[in-house]
Every structure is written in C-alpha cells, then in structure tokens.
Chains A and B, each alone.
Chain A
Amino acid sequence: MGRVFVITGTGKGIGREMALHYLAQGHLVAGCSRSEPSVVDANYTHFQLDVADEKAVVAMVQTVRKSHGGIDVLLNNAGIAAMNHLATTPMQTVQKVFATNVFGSFVFLREVAKVMMRAKVGRIVNFSTVAVPLRLEGESVYGASKAAIEHLTRVAARELGSSGITVNAVGPAPVDTDLVRSVPAEKIDALIARQAVRRLGTFADVIHVVDFFIDPRSSFVTGQLLYLGGAG
C-alpha cells in the first residue's frame, strides 16, 4: 500500500522531482508551493501557500491527515537562497530567507510531528546544504538558516525518538536547479573544487539519500546529517 507523503516546495527543483519519484512508486503525495501546481497526477494534491504562513500550514496538515488518514513521510524541502557579502545584505533578505527556510521548516516539522506522534511512526527529512560545512563566503545568511535547520533536526530527533519518528537531514551539493543557476558559475566551480567528488549533484543523488532515510528499515537512523559529494 502507498505511503502518504507531504513534500514542501514542489513547484520546481528537487521538491518537484521527489514528488514525481514517489508518485511513480504509487505513493500519495501532498505538496505545496507559492505557485500553481507543476505536478499533475491523480495521487497528487497541491496546496498553494507560503510555508511561513502558520495558519495555512496548520490547515494543510489537518486537511491531508483527514483525507489520507495520516502522514507517513515529511520531506521538508522548501527553501530559498541568497548570495551576498554580509556587509551588503539587506535585513529584508535575512527575514525572507529565515521565514521560508527556518520558520517554514519549523512549522511543518511541528504540525506533521503531532500527527505522527499519534500514529507512533513517521519519517521526517529536512534539507540542509554543503554551504554549512564549507562555510562559503557570500552565503552567511543562507548558511545560517540551514545551520538552524541542522540544529532543529538533531533536537527534534531526540524529542520525537520515543514516538517512533526519525528526523534526519540531507545536505545536497549544488544540483542544476534554478536556485543554483542564480549563483555565478565561478562560485559554483570553486565550491565543487572543495568537494571530495568534483561534480554537480543530481536529483537522483539526493533522492537516493532520502530513500534511505525514509525506508521502514531505517528506524534506528535518526538525528543524522548526510552531505553529498564528500563535503562534510
């Protein structure tokens, strides 16, 4: 029987690819983005919302729980990037990045965890980045928001472990998405040069890690961060 997935940020990029991947496997997927749906499938339900809008997220999670009878997997993927020297970073940018990346991830984590706690089982995967361990110049705000997600992941794993819920995070290396295309090519080249495996990541690389974290056999794997490309 298919599992019930909530995937944030399904409008494009890794979120959309994950939605297509798990739909192809016969699972039920509820996704969200600020945009119109970019995934069309009988087993896909789209919610057009801003992940930092607490009321909208609470309503989405309750709707999915009621219509699907529970939530098995949360892929907390929605995120935005910002690249700038800290001396020229507007506060508005800091607020926008933290609102989507930290507050959005937090409210989904909290709301879905409450549903999973009743079921005493669940898999949550958060999304970090290799920009955290590589301490990339120009990504202080983006990296700080993702470092916050890493901390949330580690603590959530401890708080939710007794409820049968695992919480892990994947840190993708740059993948050819809109988010990465907005970064100057020489910056991406310099980043890749610091990886152990020097190439861009692929959607398949990321999905492989997610598959491992959400596997029912991974019940003893929690609080872990896995960086792709040997960047840790």
Chain B
Amino acid sequence: MKEKILTIVYAALKDASEELGKPELASPGPETHLYGRNGHLDSLALVNLLADVEQRVADDLGKAIVLADERAMSQKRSPFATAGTLADYIELLLSEG
C-alpha cells in the first residue's frame, strides 16, 4: 500500500513541478521537502497539492479522505514536511477507514 501511496504523491508532485516551474520537485523521493523548513511549497501550493492528492487517492484507491484534519494541523512534526511523511499520514488515514 505504501508504494501505491508514494506513487500518487510523486505523480502529484511532478504535476506541481511543471505548474510551479520547480525542477527540484520533478524527481521526488521520500525525503523531498514539501512545506515548512526547507520546503519547496508555499501555503497556496501546498493547498493545491493536498487537493490534488486527495482526488488521486479517491480515483486510484477509491477512498475519500480529508488531509487537512485537526490532527494533521496539531501534530508536532507536520505530516506535510516531506513526501514520505505525507505518504505515512495518508496510510494512517486509510487504515482508519
């Protein structure tokens, strides 16, 4: 499952790379920084990325999730820090049904 989720996150990042003109997001890996310290995305770009990822999860995995929930916003280490932490968080949400 984690591989499938990472594939979704990477696909969204590649689209964002083109749209934002940020080549550093074109070949993403788990450590690719998204938001916050060393992040490649500003708040609006993060909002767009999360919307894109939610729709890809709905399309590819058949599950409707909301990434920006209370828990995500209050965690000490943001789940939106890197591609890997985002994938971990999606896996957690999916495991909770």
A-side residues, CB < 8 A to B, are 54-55, 58-59, 62, 65-66, 114-115, 117-118, 162
Contact = CB atoms under 8 A, between A and B. Distances in A.
Given A58-B66, A59-B64, A62-B64, A117 B47 contact: yes
Given A62-B58, A66-B58, A114 B64 contact: no
Contacts of B88: none
B31 interface: no
Interface of A is mostly: helix
B64 A58 contact: yes
A118 B44 contact: no
A62 B62 CA distance: 10
B48 A117 contact: yes
B55 A114 contact: yes
A162 B66 contact: no
B54 A114 contact: yes
B52 interface: yes
B58 A118 contact: no
Contacts of A117: 47-48, 51
B59 interface: yes
Contact of A115 (B44, B47, B55, B66): B55
Contacts of B58: 62, 65-66
